[in-house]
Amino acid sequence: MDQLHRDISSARRSAKEGAYSHSILLYTSTLGQMNKMMTEGAIESGRSEWIQARSKLSNEMAMVKKLEKEVNELKIGEDGGEIAPSDPDVWPPPPPRKTTQGVKRGGGVKGGMGRSREEEKRGERRTDKSLLRKSNSQNGIDRRDRDQPQLRKGESSEAKEGGGKNSEEEEKRREQLARYDRELVETIERDILQTNLDVRWSSIAGLDDAKKLLKEAVILPTVLPQFFKGIRRPWKGVCMVGPPGTGKTLLAKAVATECKTTFFSVSSSTLTSKYRGDSEKLVRLLFEMARLYAPSTIFIDEIDSLGGRRGSEGEHEASRRVKSQLLVEMDGCSVDADKPVLVLAATNFPWELDEALRRRLEKRIYIPLPDLTARESLLKIALDEVDLAEDVNLAEMAALLEGFSGADMTNVCREASMMGLRRLTDALDAVQIAALANQKVDLPVTRDDLLSAIRRTSPSVSQKDVDKYGMWMKEFGAV
């Protein structure tokens, strides 16, 4: 009872002080407690007085809610002007239009009545251009903010403030990107531009042929630009084909880290917009930015979802327009030899690719399942951070993992590294586990742990799928 009195007093005091939300919360809590007490039969006498008190508190809460609503409407009125009546069946009136005023050469301001016909036409033309610049996806964005695109991610403050050649190049880039909507430019910079991936060639086991080709396609043209001209021009596109989990994305990350190029990582969702025409603009802007920040690498993961075969059943018109724009940009992305742009693609379904897109991806290489040597190297890399028991023979384990992809082998190593902790904590509760010292928890991985993990894990790629990739590479491969 004392708690109810305190809550009621606090609710009324908060209402007097203008804290309506807090007051309503206290009223709601008090009424809930009263209803619970009356329902459970805790009130033996004076039930009618309790009902009257509950009705009075309900009326007080309704008044507080009404006051809060009026205050909120006043705040909206101060921000947005006169409050119009709300009717869901009637469209709201258009926002007030600002009157454009002409400025005299001497600095005076002329009213709308004093403007000449030529000045009025110039003002209308200027207004029409500003309206054309503002796409559906740009409503509510300040024009000054749209006209100045941001710098790249990972760029230091010295590069922003420094003068000389870098500042001139950055100014040219801004001028080139100023004709695009600022929101689209920010989408490219925020979702696509990737830096500091920290994946080295040494982090990838095997795949020596793929590494050699990527070094030839990305590194050599930047080191020997005078050589890669004419018929020796750099490759425009490289497509990595293979089962899932074989390291295609890791190779792309290694290209971004080792080759010191601007790296754009693209998926179908990045280049998709609900506004008509914005998807094509994003594709065009992507390649425009890649040329401005050249040498660049555009990595398109799961390219089959973006560049599937045209004319297939159920294909949407918007998807076809995006594919057409992508094909146009890829054909013209290597016109300037001084600004090389490489399109690096990866797919698990190469037979779904459009014929024209397949032609533009000049190099089509197969990323196979790891062989015996690569599997042993991968085990060394995956188990580098854990202690191994003396009875562990990685060559023996690699022989048992035939048919496993790189991702499957990583899962096996992760499973084996958890075996010691599971044995240690099986009979312990949470308090005892927290009291364990770190040196007791980090137990070495034994041979039995690896064998048990291999028995528990099955390969994710079947031999039938491997044969299918081999047939496609025999027909369309270009290594």
Q: Are residues 361 and 376 in the same domain?
A: no
Q: Would you say 368 is a known binding-site residue?
A: no
User: In this structure, are 308 and 338 located in the same domain?
Assistant: yes
CATH number of the domain within which 360 lies:
3.40.50.300
Residue 49 lies inside a defined structural domain of this protein: yes
* 264 Cα distance to chain centroid: 12
Compute the average pLDDT of residues 255-283.
81
Same-domain pairing of 304 and 403: no
What average pLDDT does the structure give for the chain? 76
Domain identity same for 353 and 442: no
> Is residue 296 assigned to a domain?
yes
Question: With contact defined as beta carbons under 8 Å apart, do 235 and 362 qualify?
Answer: yes
Please, what sign has the CA dihedral across residues 136, 137, 143, 149?
A: negative
Residues 320 and 398 in one domain: no
Nearest to 260 by CA among 287, 295, 221, 211: 295
Amino acid at 424: L
Q: Is the pLDDT of residue 279 over 50?
A: yes
Q: Is 237 within a domain?
A: yes
Shortest CA distance to 148 belongs to which of 169, 127, 164, 171?
171
pLDDT tens by residue, 230-262: 888 888 889 999 999 888 888 888 887 777 778
How far, in Å, are 20, 74, 277 from residue 77 at the CA level?
19, 5, 37
Residue 106 lies in a domain: no
And the tokens for 100? Answer: 């454009």
Total number of domains in the chain: 3
Does 30 appear as a known binding residue?
Answer: no
Task: Give the range with max mean pLDDT: 73-82, 249-258, 294-303, 380-389.
Answer: 380-389
Q: CATH number of the domain at 71, please.
A: 1.20.58.80
Domain membership of residue 380 (yes or no) is: yes
- Is 244 assigned to a binding site? yes
Domain match, 327 and 424 both: no
Tally of CB atoms within 10 A around 369: 23
361 and 385 co-located in one domain: no
At residue 376, the pLDDT reads 92
pLDDT tens digits, one per residue of 404-433: 999 999 999 999 999 888 887 777 777 777
CB 265 within 8 A of CB 286: no
Q: 363: helix, coil or strand?
A: strand
H or E segment and range at residue 61: helix 47-80
Write down which residue in 52, 77, 102 finishes a domain: 77
108 annotated ligand binder: no
What are 130-162's pLDDT values in tens digits?
Answer: 434 444 444 444 444 444 444 444 444 444 444
Residue span of the structural domain in which 252 resides:
168-366
Predicted TM-score (pTM) of the model is 0.60
Same structural domain, 324 and 187: yes
Residue 163 annotated as binding? Answer: no
pLDDT higher for 442 or 300?
300
Euclidean distance between CA atoms 133 and 279, whole angstroms: 16
What Cα–Cα distance (Å) separates residue 470 from each residue in 241, 254, 464, 474, 479? 10, 25, 10, 6, 13
pLDDT value at residue 228: 82
440 within domain boundaries: yes
Whether residues 236 and 350 fall in one domain: yes
CA angle 178, 180, 183 (to 5 degrees): 105
Say yes or no: 213 and 229 in one domain: yes
* Residue 243 annotated in ligand binding: yes
